[in-house]
């Protein structure tokens, strides 16, 4: 009787070991469709800003603002070059007082142009911040909606989250761009009024 019991124990132990080995050698099952691994996605916000209709419109508006400012600065530069050439060519014919007055006039205009360039740069940066912030706020609403509709546990921003690797199937960027473009009103993006800095004499 004891011998039969000993054989049964050994047989059960052998079968158990065989099952464990088989399980260890078998490939891991693919995650189910509703598993947490398939409920995490990411968004590339920079791509949304670069490719969405609202993002493109914001960039185009900023370029128009920049072109207007550049035209003003080009006019100041031409004026300075003419004044400098006049001083160089006619300087010898002018009295010391007249030459000093022209030189002071040139320096004054040069400083004004430098201040204007600085004002333009700050104004452009402010307008860019306002426009892009508006786009980002609208995109955030779209991302939240898509996430809820598709029952995602988490959606991260690719660059900000420091994603090293992610499957292409986890990329919701193009879907968000399509949803963003469908929601956006037709026409150029709204922008703050163009109130440039006052021109200095």
Residue 26 has pLDDT above 80, yes or no: no
Per-residue model confidence as pLDDT tens digits over 76-108: 999 999 988 888 888 778 888 888 888 999 999
Per-domain residue ranges for the chain? 33-183
Per-residue model confidence as pLDDT tens digits over 42-79: 888 888 888 999 889 988 999 999 999 999 999 999 99
- Candidates 50, 68, 45; CA nearest to 136 is 45
CB neighbour list of residue 124: distance below 8 Å, 6 or more residues apart: 62, 65, 66, 69
pLDDT of residue 38: 62
Helix axes 53-90, 173-183, angle to 10 degrees: 80
CB neighbour list of residue 128: distance below 8 Å, 6 or more residues apart: 62
- Candidates 38, 41, 73, 50; CA nearest to 180 is 50
Cα distances from 38 to residues 43, 88, 135, 154, in angstroms, run 15, 73, 28, 10
Q: Kindly state the average pLDDT of the residues 31-46.
A: 68
Domain 33-183 has CATH 3.30.460.80: no
pLDDT of residue 185: 65
- Pairwise pLDDT comparison (77 vs 194), residue with the higher score: 77
pLDDT of residue 7: 36
């Amino acid at each position: 009787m004891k011998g039969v019991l000993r054989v049964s124990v050994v047989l059960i132990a052998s079968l158990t070991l065989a099952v464990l080995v088989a399980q260890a050698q078998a490939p891991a099952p693919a995650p189910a469709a509703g598993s947490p691994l398939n409920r995490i996605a990411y968004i590339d916000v920079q791509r949304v800003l670069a490719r969405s209709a609202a993002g493109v419109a914001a960039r185009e508006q900023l370029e128009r603002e920049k072109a207007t400012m550049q035209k003003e600065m080009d006019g100041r530069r031409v004026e300075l070059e003419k004044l400098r050439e006049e001083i160089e060519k006619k300087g010898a014919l002018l009295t010391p007082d007249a030459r000093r007055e022209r030189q002071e006039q040139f320096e004054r205009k040069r400083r004004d142009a430098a201040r204007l360039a600085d004002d333009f740069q700050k104004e452009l940066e402010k307008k860019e911040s306002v426009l892009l912030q508006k786009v980002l706020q609208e995109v955030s609403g779209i991302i939240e909606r898509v996430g809820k509709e598709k029952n995602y546990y988490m959606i991260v921003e690719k660059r900000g989250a420091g994603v090293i690797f992610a499957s292409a199937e986890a990329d919701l960027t193009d879907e968000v761009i399509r949803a963003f473009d469908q929601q956006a009103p037709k026409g150029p993006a709204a922008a703050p009024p163009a109130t440039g800095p006052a021109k200095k004499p």
